[in-house]
Structure 1
Amino acid sequence: MDFYFKIINVLSTVLLLSFSSLIEAQQPYIRKSTDCAVSDNSTTNLGYIYNGITPTCQAYLTFRSQPPLYNSISTISDLLSVDASQLAQLNSVSEDETFVQDKIVLVPVNCSRSTSGQYYQASISYVIRPNDGFFDIATKTLKGLSTCQAIQAQNSVSSNDLDVGMRIGVPLRCGCPTQNQSDAGFKYLLTYLVTVGETVDRISNTIGVETSRILEANGLLPEETIYFYTTLLIPLQNPPTSSQVTEPNTSPPPPPPSSPPTPPGEGSSKAWIYVVAGVVGGLVLLLIVGAIVFCVFFRVSKKQFDPVIVSDSYEAREKSTDKKQDVEYSDFFDSVSSIAESLKVYKFEELQSATQNFSPSCWIKGSVYRGTFNGDLAAIKKINGDVSKEISILNKINHFNLIRLSGVCFNNGDWYLVYEYAVNGPLTEWIINNNNQKLLTWTQRIQIALDVATGLNYLHSYAFPPYVHKDIKSDTILLDGDYRAKIFNFDLARSADGEGGQFVLTRHIVGTKGHMAPEYLENGMISTKLDVYSFGILMLEMLTGKEVASLYELETDLSDVLEPILNEENGKENLSNFIDTSLQRNYPADIAIFMVRLIINCIKTDPSGRPNMNEIVQSLLRISKTSFAWERSISISE
């Protein structure tokens, strides 16, 4: 008898766990658009909960075009920080395409676990426009792809303190498939924007996904109403196509048919029906999992007697150099497919054509070449070694101020990474190795510093896991056509998710002398404050136009070099002898002294005394605002 009781207890536990997993497969649906004035930081408002099988994944959104601001491939890609060519390809249009009002545009995003570990999100960087507030951004610009509560939670500034031109972080709603969805063959989740008059059935018929799957994914009951300016998660087996979405129906929804009131107890009866259905579904799921486990075990046992097949592309090349090119690409794609689903895989012949067979005229620096694909420029970096770490990092992050990786290639043992092209090259050519041939104004330098700080703040606070770049210097900062900064070279980057999220230790000290923090050099301590120190050195070089090595010749402690500038009596005179001569005194002295104070704080010996990147961003936002006002006053006076 005891044996049977044990069997019953085990089955009860299994059923409970199975039913719980079905509940965890659901995401909460936002049933109304909530004003920021309402203090409601529920899971519903802050984002889709982290319940998937991976911390990051390829996901998709729908965006509704809004002439004249966001109605083209270029403007939408800028707003949502996505590659224009990928956006055009996904929607089967050219890159110069424009859209009519409320046209549904599919958007690919990298969906990642938030820093808090509770939600999924795809973060973008948004520049405040006149009359913008968090509610306006969430409901008018993004039509519900974010919420004012989620935006407020990600920024230290309130909605009432937003200034035009200020850059803030905005989390977009996205999700990754749960174990149940993955077992059912669903690989992607589409965040679908609901418009006026739409129902779950209508969306189901349009996209071609069973209504029951959509209801389950969003924790909805069949009779529940959905609202415009809200989002639904649509599970997909394949990436969405433009043919799956149609123009939104702007006609008002028909009035609901009159029906008799629900008898008392009927709702609870329906609830029990769902419970029973969940239990039965759990049993079915258990049987399926058991069958899969049996098949996998049997298959593995059988393979123990088979010859060993080398899957690593390098070893395979050494043992069989005469393999066909298509086999080589198959091996390559298998090795990176799990982390590079959103990347284009190039054939080597395409890279040869793009670079004129890697002609010296296309050479940029080191192993980096300039390439042209369909009229668009790209930077191609050749690497001999393991690139999975860099691809994995770049595939998880998505920010305007971080260089974008758009494609990869493998040929003859070498990897080739294809990045977006920054036409103005590395920052070092503009502030150190320029011989005064290339000039950056004061406001351009401040904007570049703000861009770098914003990118680092994203890495430290919004990427999951948080990352430390470890090599911030003028060589790893690229400038685009508008002199906006892009952080490059993630070779040394690593997770900062150590004990308590504070720091990790290493014995492998790698970096650039003069830019490395003392705690890293002495003890191998890695934390986000390592980047803060390097950023302080970068600002120092931007202010002086000199390499940090030449400044160390003056004093062993850089703070001793900077302290005289803070002297109230002759600080401005000391500053004029210290600041970059190419500025020709065209700078606001009071603001420059404030910059010196910020630099001193960043390069403090004790890492706990340094500000974090969010505090630095807020300081630079104030400096930027004041600097642009100074520049306008100079222009008017002239």
Structure 2
Amino acid sequence: MNHHVVFLFTLTLFLVSFDAKAQQNYTGNSIFSCKNDDKMGASPSFLYTCNGLNKSCLAFLIFKSKPPFNSIATISNLTSSNPEELARINDVNVLKVFPTGKEVLVPLNCSCLTRDYYQAETNYVLGQSPTYLTVANDTLQGLTTCDSLMRANPYGELDLHPGMELHVPLRCACPTWHQITNGTKYLLTYSVNWGDNITNIAARFNVAAGNVVDANGFSTQTQTIFPFTTVLIPLPSEPVSSMTRIVSDPPDVSPLVCSSKKCNSKRKLYTVIATTGGSMLVLCVVLYGVFLFRKRSAMFIKRGEQGEKSKKLSSEDIRGEIAIIEHHSKVYKFEEIEKATENFSSKNRIKGSVYRGVFGKEKNILAVKKMRGDASKEVNLLEKINHFNLIKLQGYCENDGCPYLVYEYMENGSLREWLSRNGSTEHQSLARRILIALDVANGLQYLHNFTEPCYVHRNINSGSILLNKDLRAKIADFALAEESESKITSGCASSHIAKSRGYMAPEYLEAGKVTTKMDVFAFGVVLLELITGKDAVTLQDGREVMLRAFIVNLIGKEDEEEKESLFIDPSLNGNIEKVWALQLVKLGLACLIQESAERPTMVEVVSSLLKTYTSYMEQIIPPSISNSPSMER
């Protein structure tokens, strides 16, 4: 009997304590200070607390469409969400472009990545005059906070520059035990607009106002809520597109809504307070931005040469400013490397001298590459470049004169390995292959045009292109990268030529000439590999045959279309796929023109691939969807 009493008492205490944390707390306007701390416990000024029944769940947020983030493609990229799921939940197709101010439902995987807070992870490349506050409140519309951004990134407030990539934790949460027992399945993070109040938000999402009050720790249904802050909406089922609306831009400041008749006499006063408060808030943000800009400008003047800095920046100067941004990689101890790779055990070997490593208490999975000779050139280059489609150097180590480079881990290995695997529906998707080509092209376009100095990779092939878990492509292996000014190398290393057979441009083989067009040539071969599924060099009747030469002999003949089956990957077996695959083959061959000056630039290649992808997707999407009135452009 006593045991039962003790058990019931313990269970009651557990449920009481659990229920005591069965809500999140609303931030109020504390998020605008960027100076909050959580030393005394988790603070809503950072993210939502890990108090849910599950440590990971499907969650939703609402993002308001605003150029350049006004399409399925750009919003999915900004939030790192699945574009197909994004299109489905909003009842549109993947080509949808939203009108400005349209609320877009975004499905995300929400997890307790730290002991204290839920978050969904994404990355954002900074634009002009960036601050943590403007990224949090303007770009991300309050879906992250200034304090959480500062904690997630190693850069100081005055060290943010255009082109730098920030890690962004998005605000999300999973339902508590109390909410689940009351029928809640999902929590939606809603960014408050001017004129919103608890009652009308609850009505829009067809949930009880009391549930919204409980979910956010409000004291009453009439508690004031502020724009740029977020409110959690407890939902019994997935949200639907009919719950969203177009928010006018710029919105008018509306009076606070009250249920009491006494509010009518005070409405004018509330309007004045809201307008004044909003104006003060905007003024504070502007002054804060001016303060950071002036201090940052002073720092730049001290760094550079004195004198003619008052002149206007040219496009070359701006490119230089973007290119000099460096992210500083971690210097690992060799003991950390050994522990992570289990002393370079064979079970952790990925390929050659590359090993899988599990680092730190967070169990971060990274790739460790044991280098030969001096790796300082590659490290210096990788610390200067910052682009999603270029492999990220996380850190390095040197032991007994041997360098070890630590990279982000790419779950799907090299493009060559992926193409050699058969049977997956992803392999049968032409759209997926075009997107991989676009990733590679975007990475090369960045190297050729947006670094200072601009670089030539010199080793583009299907083995140096890696795929992450989402089959996004990143260019790796920068050991041979050179500055892109036209120059003649002292000689062509035989090992380099042997390794890159089938990819080397004729002007490099003949005269050692290094320009961006040699990367264009190699990309052309990779594009042919993507469409044919074949290797760059194959054996035919006991002799080596270059893929490009094999296809050139078939293209341009009278019976060209009949011979498609001889070179287009059998996985791309639909008639529509074959038509567009042939167009991509022709783009690949344009990159392989003998005269380098006649080859397209990577800017032109990216443009062509984008047009091809859009046209192909428009053709395969059912007419009933593409002709629907919801397809605003």
TM-score by length of 2: 0.50
TM-score by length of 1: 0.49
